[in-house]
Amino acid sequence: MNTDYDVLIIGGGPGGTPAAMALAMAGKQVLLVESGAGLGGTCLFEGCIPSKIFRESARRLRELREAADFGLCLPTLDTRINWSAIQERKRNILQRRSQAALARVEKIPGLTFVQGRAQFISAHEAEISITDAEVQRVQFKQAIIATGSIPFRPPIRGIDHPRVLDSEAILNIDHIPDKLVIIGAGPIGVELGQVFHTFGSRVSILEAAPNILGPVDQELAAQLRQRMQDDGIEIHTDCRVNAIIHSGQRVYVEYLNADQEKQHCFTDTVLVVAGRRPNVQSLGLENTAVEHDAHGVKVNATLETGEAGIYAVGDVIGQPMFAHWATTQGLALARHLLGQPAPFPDPLSNSAVIFSEPELAMAGLTEAAAREAGIEVEIARYDFQHDARSQISGRDAGMLKIVFEKNSHKVLGVHALTEGADALMGEAALLVKAGLPLEAIAGAIHPHPTLSESFVQAARSALAALSMGKPKP
């Protein structure tokens, strides 16, 4: 292995790997170091991909159960869940994706990939621990920290009990819990709660905040919460967990409810998904001028840290924590380091999907965030109950909301609750990024019958109401 590089990149996830590839293809000598199972990072091995693999199995199971609603008289089927087969399918997909990423990296001259741990010795020198016995010291001109995040474990008494799992451990569980208590109603808690409920677990979710899903559009979050409760998932908000206590072959979670009354919830498995924190462990940052706190590594507008020449991207610098956000930052930083025009991404134009049932997706500002920023906004709505494509699919619950500036009609945010909302977010992201007005949406011809028609219907309805001086629908 060479010992002198232009750029050292620590972390082979969705932030570090694209940056490494872009820089190496432009002629830089790049060393990419990943300490995990392989290229792909948390998203591939412990996050979005494995959880969506579980979700896909749950979706197929729901479709089998709903077959009669579509006039399908299926023969008696053995719909028991083969959990080991689901886990094996997950492992095969993760391995295939990681090996494909490695193959792409290995084809790029100037890009060296090492599976090991990197630790800064100084601002331009690091030790790479490949094995316990093999340590290589390297020099570099610049560095990018892309080490992602790790599950946050709140200071709850009993949280270290073996039956208490985090978002990474639950993905490798060897059975489907009979009863599952989830601490945290963020995206991970909601997604996995619905998945395991579909698989047969009795699910209870405990959330400290007044609402589920935190900063997302609360009108849509409330609709999703009602759907989950109608399906049989218990959701308790405004509650504080005091302890997780061992009791024979089970555990119980002790918490205070919204009325400050002590409650107990017996279970066999507890899932703690109270957020994630930036992963800065064992990086040797104390040997540099890089500053960090509980919110992550501190960077400036060009993602440079307090140490000149050392940069950071993705989860390690804090919110928003999304794989696609890390990739966008990594590629922008690569262009910046190459001296090319590099507009860095603006969080206000970010998009995301919560893979709930139905999906809740968003791009840009929520109604509440826009009003808090002092922007005078209006809302265009479309109820999927009236949508042809949604009725055909049997998934006609939910709503599309377009947040737009009152005077200019410029689109500031798009939010959707519907099965298939993920497919709407590409267009939504473009609308927000370009700041297009409602008139542009209303004039675009969308195919029928598709979910994308909802954009046109919402825009036309809002414009008609505005022209007549009536309240929006």
Each residue of 379-398: pLDDT tens digit?
999 999 999 999 999 988 89
Q: How confident is the model at residue 370 (pLDDT cuts 50, 70, 90)?
A: very high
Q: pLDDT tens for residues 182-223?
A: 999 999 999 999 999 999 999 999 999 999 998 899 999 999
Give the mean pLDDT of the chain.
93
**CB 426, CB 433: distance < 8 Å:** no
* Residue from 101, 131, 133, 136 nearest 20 by CA: 101
Express each pLDDT in 281-297 by its tens digit: 999 999 999 999 999 99
Please, which pLDDT band fits residue 48 given cuts at 50, 70 and 90? confident
Among this protein's residues, is 448 annotated catalytic?
yes
- What's the predicted TM-score (pTM) here? 0.92
Residue 44 has pLDDT above 90, yes or no: no
161, 246, 264, 448: the catalytic one is 448
**Best CA proximity match to 307, nearest among 451, 188, 145:** 145
* For residue 2, pLDDT beyond 60: yes
* Residue 106 CA to its chain's centroid (Å): 28
Q: Which helix (H) or strand (E) holds 100?
A: helix 83-106
At residue 5, does pLDDT exceed 90? yes
Q: Assess contact for 15 and 312: CB atoms under 8 A.
A: no
Q: What would the pLDDT profile of 395-418 be if each residue is shown by its tens digit?
A: 888 999 999 999 999 999 999 999
**DSSP tag of 136:** E
Angle at 302 between CA 309 and CA 106, to 5 degrees: 65
pLDDT at 473: 53
pLDDT score recorded for residue 449 = 95
Contact 212, 221 (CB under 8 A): yes
Q: What domains lie within the chain, and their CATH numbers? A: 4-151+277-345 (3.50.50.60), 164-274 (3.50.50.60), 348-467 (3.30.390.30)
* Whether 378 contacts 466, CB under 8 Å: yes
| Count of C-beta atoms within a 10 Å radius of residue 124 | 17
Q: CA–CA separation, 48 vs 326, rounded Å? A: 13
- Are the beta carbons of 418 and 429 closer than 8 angstroms? no
